[in-house]
Amino acid sequence: MSHRQLLYKVFCHISAISCILATVKTGEKQIFRYFSAILLGFSIILSTTALAGNGAKIPLEKMVGQLIVAGFAGSKPTDSGVVKIHKALASGHAGGVILFDNNIKSPKQLQKLTRYLAGASPFWPVLIATDEEGGIVERLGRKNGFHRDPGASYVARTRKAEKALATYTIMATELAKNGINLNLAPVADLRLNRYNRVIGRTGRTFGRSPDQVIPYITAFIQAHKNAGIITVLKHFPGHGSSRKDSHTGLPDISKSWRKFELDPYRAMINNNMADMIMTGHLYMKSWGLPASLSKTAVTGLLKQQLGFKGPVITDDLQMRAISRKYTLKQAAIMAINAGNDLILVGNTLSRQKASLELLHSAIIDAVNTGKIPLWRIRNAYNRIIALKWRLLDQKH
């Protein structure tokens, strides 16, 4: 047991004792009240020490593991793929998972699976993510025994943003009930190209303008915040004007992209509503790279110009937009150097499943050989832990 885990256990026990002592009636033994206050104060000091996300004091291998969110095969704790990802989480080779259709069969099954995965990490909460936008992108639907969530364009056509809050409250409540704490949604893209096959034609966006989109993504995020679920705005800097689908190739938005596509991100950042932001595999000639791999886009534009302080996560690095040109190792190193704090590896788009151990080792080697600066890992780790602190605080 590490000193951080020990301190946290002491914190829990002291907090429990202090609560018990605080119930002693006033006048019977006044000293108990003072003792309770002292214990509670001591517990706060210990919890601060135990939970501090100071990357400077954490071993490199532990920090790197927190940067990886991975998909896996299987739906039961006894399935080999589930056992493997559980070991990766327990050993610190991953800090989170993403669930797809193949992982979700029924409410009872999902709850059992998420409990098993959540129990893998000895201390920090496991990020248990899925894509639940509603409509065409829906992991928890009627087909597997859950509530059906409508798509973004349908919601925007049929109800005002104030009413949408109730719609997304149902969604978020169901996610929380089934052990999911991270929803890779909402889509903040604008419907600028009617020929766009991945965003526009599929009903995944709330509208054509920032004024149309912002109220709905606000309602989406607020409903999830109320349920204790972290949300992810996507696909930065804007996928709505593209023609190509980044699942199958690299979209070039050099001529079609407009600056006002940043407005939904700017609004959510300024209003302290943005938990996480996902970078898209979207090529811009001025960057010379996809946004997800570009330091100009991630660090320069998103973090410095827009002032985003939370964690940034890549879209799946196994999408053809990236995998056609780069190996997973190359893409991961480039993504981290660009300023992404988490790298997403879905393990559904590639025939060969990524070895998390090899990916983890490759990132560590890149740090040790100077290809990734250590401060970049520490900065990413601290952003992630600050977010996980919120999950831990809600849990306890």
Q: Are 307 and 269 in contact (CB under 8 A)?
A: yes
315 labelled catalytic: yes
What's the confidence (pLDDT) of residue 290? 97
CA distances from 325 to 150, 190, 363 (A): 36, 28, 19
Query: What pLDDT, on a 0 to 100 scale, did the predictor assign at position 61?
Result: 95
Whether 32 shows a pLDDT value over 50: the answer reads: no
DSSP string, 343-393: EEE-SSSSSSPP-HHHHHHHHHHHHHTTSS-HHHHHHHHHHHHHHHHHHHH
In tens, the pLDDT along 43-76 reads: 434 444 444 455 567 899 999 999 999 999 999 9
Sign of CA dihedral 323, 324, 326, 327: positive
Evaluate if residue 23 carries a pLDDT over 70.
no
Indicate if the pLDDT at residue 113 is higher than 90. Answer: yes
Q: Is residue 350 scored above 90 in pLDDT? A: no
Distance CA(257)–CA(143), nearest Å, equals 37
Q: What is the pLDDT of residue 167?
A: 96
Q: Which structure tokens are listed for 103?
A: 């992982």
Query: What integer is the mean pLDDT of 205-228?
Result: 97
Question: CA 345 to CA 291: how far, in whole Å?
Answer: 17
User: Beta strand pairing status for 276-279 and 132-134?
Assistant: unpaired
CA distances from 343 to 3, 43, 61, 102 (A): 28, 35, 15, 21
For the question of residue 341 being annotated catalytic, the response is no
Percent of the chain with pLDDT over 70: 82
**Model's pTM, two decimal places?**
0.86
CA torsion 358-360-363-367 (nearest 10°) is -120
Q: What is the dihedral of CA 295, 301, 303, 307, to 10 degrees?
A: 170
Residue-by-residue DSSP string for 217-265: HHHHHHHHHHTT-EEEEEEET--TT-SS-TTTS--B-TTT--GGGGHHH
pLDDT at position 366 over 80? yes
How many Å apart are CA 208 and CA 99, to the nearest integer?
30
Count, residues in the chain: 396
pLDDT of residue 141: 87
Q: Is pLDDT above 60 for 371?
A: yes
Residues 4 and 388: their CA atoms lie apart, in Å, by 15
149, 315, 316, 341: the active-site residue: 315
**For residue 250, what pLDDT is reported?**
86
Beta strand 289-290 with 283-284 is antiparallel
Q: Does 4 have pLDDT greater than 90?
A: no
The mean pLDDT of 312-321, rounded to a whole number, is 94
Question: What's the pLDDT at 162?
Answer: 94
- What are φ and ψ of residue 156, in 5° steps? -65, -30
| Residue 374 pLDDT exceeds 80 | yes
Phi first, then psi: give them for residue 251, nearest 5 degrees: -70, 135
What is the helix (H) or strand (E) element at residue 116, kind and residue range? helix 107-118
The arrangement of secondary structure in 59-395, i.e. its CATH architecture, is: Alpha-Beta Barrel (3.20)
Mean pLDDT, residues 265-294: 97
- 177 — pLDDT class (breaks 50, 70, 90): very high
* Beta pairing partners, 129: 98, 182
